[in-house]
């Protein structure tokens, strides 16, 4: 069975475009996260939309408040001003738990399998699906559909993914040893829906999870994202994705000239037309005016 989940196009006059930047504060911003911020900002502002900032800090072990603070400072210094209040996922645990016990309940199940039990198996073999274990005593998985879900990606083209075959029943909340931590896939699905995100632009590394996110949003009866864009990754000299884990150098926004240089380099990486060196805000105004997502498609080839 195939399900094409893109919602019918609505005239843009009805819905204001809403985009977001959703960093995980496991470190400071690096050049990779900067390109995602610049792209999602210029893209949504070129449609006179709102750009929201959401701090994805459910992983309290790896995320640090000082990194969140620095991310906000860097964005301000770069002239990337967000609309509305910043959302911190660490403050929304109650809400995510309500979804587990309410909207998503029918498809959630508790799982007592240890890492050792599942050694070598990438797709969860559903050992606990029919055990009816108590949700609060174990980690919680969600039953994901075993059919293809299609979505159009404005950079990568049409995508078809079967979430069951690609990912299996994902863990959405960890067990008491991990303090019942909410996992990324649940929090991002609920927040993108509740914040009315119409355009999601993010790194290509997350694209394999998109059909699972669409499925969760559908099950939870949340409004779906209308347009997806997965950006080419910035790679280091060894061909690896820049990440906080491989200690990509944090960006330095401590003076205006450095900010302007960072913006120029990011826009160049994003294949955008040349922007003259100027104050960050003016460079961004020019970049917004010239923004063309289609140019990013060349980067993939
Ligand atoms: N929090 C994720 C990250 O920092 C991004 C998630 C998203 O944009 O959906 O990689």
Q: How far is the CA of 273 from the centre of ligand 1 (A)?
A: 26
State the Cα–Cα distance between residues 185 and 167, nearest whole angstrom: 11
Q: What average pLDDT does the segment 12-28 reach?
A: 89
Q: Indicate whether 6 pLDDT > 60.
A: no
- Residues with C-beta less than 6 Å from any ligand 1 atom: 22-24, 56, 188, 202, 206
Q: Is the pLDDT of residue 52 over 90?
A: yes
Ligand 1 nearest-atom number relative to CA 23? 4
Q: How many CB atoms lie within 10 A of CB 13?
A: 6
Radius of gyration of the chain (CA): 20
253 vs 76: CA distance, rounded Å? 9
Pocket test for ligand 1, best of 18, 21, 22 (most atoms within 8 A of CB): 22
Ligand 1 atom at minimal distance to the Cα of residue 33: 4
Which atom of ligand 1 is the closest one to the Cα of 21? 8
Residue 269: name the closest of 245, 299, 249 by CA. 299
- The greatest distance separating any two alpha carbons of the chain, rounded to the nearest whole angstrom, comes to 63
The 8-class DSSP code of residue 209 comes to G
**What are the domain boundaries of the chain?**
18-107+191-300
Whole-number pLDDT of residue 215? 98
Determine the distance separating the centroid of ligand 1 and the alpha carbon of 24, expressed in angstroms: 6
274-286: average pLDDT: 98
Average pLDDT for 182-189: 98
Angstrom distance (rounded) from CA 285 to CA 243:
28
Structure tokens at 148: 């293809």
**Poorest-confidence range of 132-141, 194-203, 230-239, 289-298?**
230-239
pLDDT in tens, 156-177: 999 999 999 999 999 999 999 9
Could you tell me the pLDDT band of residue 300, with boundaries at 50, 70 and 90? low
Q: Is the pLDDT score of 31 beyond 50? A: yes
pLDDT in the model for residue 102 = 98
- pLDDT surpasses 80 at 185: yes
CB 256 within 8 A of CB 229: no
Start-to-end Cα distance in the chain:
31
Report, at the CATH architecture level, how domain 18-107+191-300 is classified.
Answer: 3-Layer(aba) Sandwich (3.40)
């Amino acid at each position: 069975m195939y399900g094409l989940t893109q919602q019918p196009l609505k005239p843009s006059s009805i819905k204001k475009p809403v985009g977001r930047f959703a960093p995980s504060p496991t470190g400071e911003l690096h050049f990779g996260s900067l390109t995602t911020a610049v792209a999602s900002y210029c893209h949504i502002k070129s449609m006179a939309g709102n750009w929201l900032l959401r701090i994805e800090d459910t992983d309290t072990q790896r995320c640090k408040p000082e990194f969140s603070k620095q991310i906000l400072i860097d964005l301000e210094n770069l002239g990337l001003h967000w609309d509305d209040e910043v959302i911190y996922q660490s403050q929304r645990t109650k809400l995510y738990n309500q979804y587990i016990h309410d909207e998503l309940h029918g498809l959630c199940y508790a799982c007592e399998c240890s890492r050792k039990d599942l050694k070598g198996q990438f797709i969860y073999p559903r050992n606990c699906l029919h055990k009816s274990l108590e949700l609060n005593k174990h980690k919680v998985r969600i039953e994901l559909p075993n059919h293809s879900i299609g979505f159009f990606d404005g950079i990568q083209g049409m995508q078809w993914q079967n979430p069951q075959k690609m990912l299996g029943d994902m863990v959405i909340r960890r067990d008491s040893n991990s303090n019942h931590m909410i996992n990324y896939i649940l929090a991002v699905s609920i927040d993108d829906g509740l914040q009315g995100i119409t355009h999601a632009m993010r790194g290509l590394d997350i694209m394999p999870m998109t059909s699972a996110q669409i499925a969760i949003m559908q099950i939870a009866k949340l409004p779906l994202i209308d347009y997806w864009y997965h950006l080419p990754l910035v790679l280091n000299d060894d061909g690896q994705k820049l990440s906080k884990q491989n200690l990509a150098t944090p960006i330095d926004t401590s003076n205006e000239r450095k900010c302007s240089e960072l913006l120029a380099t990011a826009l160049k990486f994003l294949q955008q037309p040349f922007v003259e060196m100027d104050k960050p805000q003016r460079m961004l105004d020019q970049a917004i005016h010239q923004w063309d997502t289609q140019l990013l498609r060349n980067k993939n080839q």
